[in-house]
Every structure is written in structure tokens, then in C-alpha cells.
Structure 1
Amino acid sequence: MSLNRELADFLRRARSKADPARAGLPPDGRIRRVPGLRREEVALLAGVSTDYYTRLEQGRRITPSDQVLDAVARALGLDDAGRTYLHELVGTTARPARRRTPAVQRVRPGLHQLLDSLDGHPALILGRRTDVLAANRLARALFTDFDAMPPRERNYSRWMFLDSAAQQLFLDWDEQARNCVENLRLDLAANPGDPLARDLVATLSERSSQFRTWWDEHGVYQRTFGSKRLHHPIAGDLTVAYETLTMPGDHDQTLFLYTTEPASTSRDVLNLLASWTLTRPSTGPGHAFPP
């Protein structure tokens, strides 16, 4: 996977999705044969020459300033995640080995204690590549028992795409799975020297046509909160809201905390699931609790 090609593909796709009217361009009477902005329009909006932007979009080895990148991001209407991704791609193109990625991540003991103390709420800690570094009892019962998997397979995205139980668990599987793809793109841009990330993308691309389709769209978005709709095979239907917290001192580790609305059906379902887990081992949805 060429980083220059990644940059070129990302810019072209972002340009094709940009809205000329929203960008403030007046009608010029010309018929647009393809959607989005023309190269010369992006260059005009960004305050650079068309030749310079063309070379940038071609993935040439040039190093634009932060100001130029911000101007291009504004011209293309990129959000914060897209702007960050653009900076990462250009930075990795210029400095492919700018930092070394440790092979193994570990959760410090205090965070394990924190997860255990959140007994009434499912909680996960994800690391690079969406690796599942830790999960409390209720998270293992609600999603799946990541602890029972081989270490190399304890990955949220891998589970999402390659385990049929995940597709049955999430009522909004398409949305949740696409979120995984877009987060993986951000992670790979931030950690270009991580061979495990590239191996994961290669595996998912080979074994999941849906992953391959979404990966080729070059979408990036960092979701720090949201909701998930689930159909637990034993406990029933529920909606959980989630918030993400980056760990101080461990910026590559993120706590995902799931909650339900007070006095809601979802809260009742989660409480029921929690009470069952007190007496039965958790081995994943559909397996933890016999009918």
C-alpha cells in the first residue's frame, strides 16, 4: 500500500464529494460531467496554483505547509477527522519512519480495577487497530467474550466483520461496521509503521467484500460518542449510548463506556443481563446463558 497513492485517492474522493454551491462558488455555466469540485476550483479556494494542487492530488513527493493543508481541507469541506487524516497522510509521505510503534500494548492494573468497578455498565478499553485490551464482565456478556479468543484475534473490527454473531447482534450493523473501517483508516495514517495494522486490513479485505468496499471509499471519521442498537439473543432488544475517554498517559488506549436511559426498557434488559452474569460464565451472546 503506497502512502502516496493513499493521499491521491483520498483527495480525489474528497473532491468528488464536495458541494460546489456549499463551497461558495458562483455558477459558471459549464456542465459538470462528474460530481464535486474541479481541480482548478479546489486550487482557487485553497489559494494555490492548479499545478501545485494537481501534483498534490497525484501523490507527488512534495511537503506542503500546515497552512496549505488547512486551506485544502477547508476547500474540500473536510471535518476535523478528515483534516487530521490529511495531515497524517502528508506527514507519513514525507517521513515514513517518523516514529516506531510498540508491538504490544498493555493495560495498567489501575485501569483493570476501574473496569471492574463499573459493574453495572459494559466497558471496554480499545488500543491501536481497535484491539480489545480489556473488557469487564458485562461487556463480555453483551458483546462477546474477547478474553476467550486467541490474543491475536482479540480485535473489535475483526470480530465485527468475521464473526456472524456480531452481524446478528447489531441491528444497525452497517453503521457500526463502517465506523470500524473509518477508525482503522485514522489509526493506520497515525501509525504507518505498524505491520499488524496492515496485516489486519489485508485479512479483512480478503475475507470481507463489505470491508473491502468501505475501505476503498477512503472515509474517515472519529466518533467519540453515539449509540448502538442490539438484539441480544437471550436478554432481548436494547439501545446503549457510548462515550469514549482517552486514557491520560496512554493516548493510544480508549475507554468505551456504555449506558442506558434511566427507567427504560433498555435499562431493564441490561439489568437482567447483569443479574444473569453473576451466576453464569460469560462466553458471548447466544452462548452465555442457555434458554
Structure 2
Amino acid sequence: MDDLAGFLRTRRARVDPAAAGIPTDRRRRVEGLRREEVAHLSGVSVDYYVRLEQGRATQPSEQVLDALARVLGLDETERGHLYRLARQRRRRAKAPCGRVRPELLRVLGLVAGAPALVMDHRLDVLAGNRLAGLLFGRPLPSLNIARHLFLEEGEHGLYAGWESCTLDVVGHLRLAAGTHPDDPRLASLIGDLAMGSERFRRLWARADVRARTHGPKAYRHPLVGLLELHQENFALPDGSGMELVVLSAPPGSPAEDGLRLLAALDADGASPAEDEPSHHRPPAVTDR
């Protein structure tokens, strides 16, 4: 699904030779740096770097990886991804089982006034509170965010910032593929997305990685209109690869009013709910 050689090639093509101190002229036909230029700037032999890009060199040292990260201008997320790819053959990470602890479900149900859900590294939604179910308009355990984004909703669907969302999702899946290269379900997901979406294929070929922990997220909900929310991702500390995701609205904003209206609807959006006030009874949660 992912390898060190491909990542190095895409990062090399991204570097501006002039910024690296290499004179250029109109006859230059290579996009980015040449292999020999990366090798020279990194302090490794050309033969060794060529073998790295061909997948024939194993176990590069920390010094070599540090030098490559510097020359290729990698950010913190890309640097961590580079190190994981370089060590794939040494230690394979086992794919998490995906079970949500009852205690976590209880915490999820206590989140009031904001959609909240638990996702795994494949972007499968494992559980969510009632407001999250109303936001996405479907049972959450059947939802995969990547499939929903690329194969079901499309550019004019639920996601108001669709193009930005696609960058985040592909970058996340690239990181997941580097961490779990032997996960067959992840490989199947990536294959389905590549078969069904031209945009996914183009973004995947770029080999960009992203680790989004927070930021704006906007939705075009068919019942309550535009919801401009703020997303916070909380990685669970148990090594499961799961994240608790909470989508909140600024106080006094139209999005806060929209969430209140959404919370007053039945799951099918047909009529106001007759449930007890949310502070009396926490929203229901769903689980696999």
C-alpha cells in the first residue's frame, strides 16, 4: 500500500532546486531534485540513494533519515511517516481490533450539544451520540468517512469544504497505510476508493500525509442548513488507533442554533423529539 521508495520519489519531485542552492537553466527537464542531487546534499552515495528509491536498500540509519528529511524539507508529520516507512520491514504494527470500551461509550453519551463520535484508523465510525447520527443522517456503525466523502456525497453533498476534506482524508489514510501496511481491510478500502473516485486516485498518487488534530469543518445539512463547526480530534492513549471526534459550534453562532434545531428533531428529521431534556438524559449511543 505504501513504501519508502515511492514516498522519497514524490518528496524529491516537490523540492525547488533553486531553494536548495542548485543552479537551474531552461534545459532542465527533471521536476524537483535529481537523485544524485539529493544524495550529494544528504551526504550519502548516489548508489545508496538510488537503491533506496528502488526499494533495494533496507534499514537506513537515523543519520541518513535525518539528512533526507532535511534535504527534502519534510514537516513533522512527513518526518514521522518517513521513519515508519523505513522500519516497516523490521516491525509490522498489528491492526487494532476496533472494539469500543463500555466506559468510552458512556463518555460519548455524556457529550451534549455537539456531535461526537469514535473513529478508527480506517475512518470507520465505531460509535456516536444521537446528534452525530442526526448530522450524518444514517446509522453511524455503517459509516466510513472516506467512502461517504468520495463515493456517496461528492462535491455538492454534506461536506461544504469538500476539497479540503478530501485532502485531509487522503493524508490521514496515507499515514494509516504507513502504520498498518498489512491491514487487509485498509487495503480493500483504498482499492475501492481508487476504483470509484478519480480525485482520490490523483491525491493518492501525490503521497501527501496529514495529521489533523483540530480545525474548522462545515456541513450543508438538508434540514438545518449550513453548520460551520470546529472539529477536535482526541487520540485515545491506549494504542488502539481510535480517535474521539467532537464537532462544536461557537457560542451564539448560527451553527449553535442549527445544532439546537437538529437536536430537537427525531432521527428521521420529521418532527420535534419528545425526549427528556439533554441534561436529564444523555444522548443515546450506537456501537458495533
Same-fold status (TM-score > 0.5): yes
CA shift, 1:167, in A, is 4.6
Give the 5 Å matches for 1:48-127: 48-92=44-88, 94-95=89-90, 98-102=92-96, 104-127=97-120
- Counterpart of 1:267, as a letter, is E
Question: In structure 1, how many angstroms separate the alpha carbons of the residues matched to 2:180 and 2:128?
Answer: 24
Q: Could you give the per-residue CA deviations for residues 39-83 of structure 1, whole angstroms, max 9, x where no partner exists?
A: 222222222122211211122132201221121011101112211
Aligned match for 2:10, one of 6, 9, 13: 13
Residues 164/244 of structure 1: CA separation in 2 closer, same or farther (3 Å cut): closer
Please give the secondary structure, in 2, of the residue aligned with 1:163.
helix
Residues 148/71 of structure 1: CA separation in 2 closer, same or farther (3 Å cut): closer
1:272 aligns with 2:269: no
Structure 2 unaligned spans of 5+: 273-288
Question: In structure 1, how many angstroms separate the alpha carbons of the residues matched to 2:139 and 2:67?
Answer: 43
| C-alpha contact 2:93 2:179 (8 A) present in aligned 1 | no
- Counterpart of 1:35, as a letter, is E
Question: In structure 1, how many angstroms separate the alpha carbons of the residues matched to 2:33 and 2:99?
Answer: 45
1:171 aligns with 2:165: no
What is the TM-score when the length of structure 2 is the normalising length? 0.86
Question: In structure 2, how many angstroms separate the alpha carbons of the residues matched to 1:148 and 1:9?
Answer: 34
| Equivalent in the alignment of 1:183 | 172
CA shift, 1:245, in A, is 0.8
Residues 199/158 of structure 1: CA separation in 2 closer, same or farther (3 Å cut): same
| Equivalent in the alignment of 1:22 | 19
Q: Matched residues, percent identical?
A: 43
| Equivalent in the alignment of 2:285 | none
Q: How many pairs were matched up?
A: 272
| Equivalent in the alignment of 1:138 | 131
Question: In structure 1, how many angstroms separate the alpha carbons of the residues matched to 2:155 and 2:258?
Answer: 18
Question: In structure 2, how many angstroms separate the alpha carbons of the residues matched to 1:98 and 1:234?
Answer: 45
1:204 aligns with 2:197: no
| C-alpha contact 1:115 1:136 (8 A) present in aligned 2 | yes
- Counterpart of 1:141, as a letter, is L
Q: CA RMSD in A?
A: 2.2
Question: In structure 2, how many angstroms separate the alpha carbons of the residues matched to 1:100 and 1:269?
Answer: 41
Question: In structure 1, how many angstroms separate the alpha carbons of the residues matched to 2:63 and 2:92?
Answer: 21
Residues 250/145 of structure 1: CA separation in 2 closer, same or farther (3 Å cut): farther
Question: In structure 2, how many angstroms separate the alpha carbons of the residues matched to 1:63 and 1:53?
Answer: 12
- Counterpart of 1:108, as a letter, is R
Please give the secondary structure, in 1, of the residue aligned with 2:247.
strand
Question: In structure 2, how many angstroms separate the alpha carbons of the residues matched to 1:112 and 1:183?
Answer: 24
| C-alpha contact 2:161 2:217 (8 A) present in aligned 1 | yes
Structure 1 unaligned spans of 5+: 283-287
- Counterpart of 2:64, as a letter, is V
Q: Larger RCO: Structure 1 or Structure 2 (Cα < 8 Å, ≥ 6 residues apart)?
A: 2
| Equivalent in the alignment of 1:285 | none
Residues 113/250 of structure 1: CA separation in 2 closer, same or farther (3 Å cut): farther
1:281 aligns with 2:267: yes
What is the TM-score when the length of structure 1 is the normalising length? 0.86
Question: In structure 2, how many angstroms separate the alpha carbons of the residues matched to 1:166 and 1:144?
Answer: 17
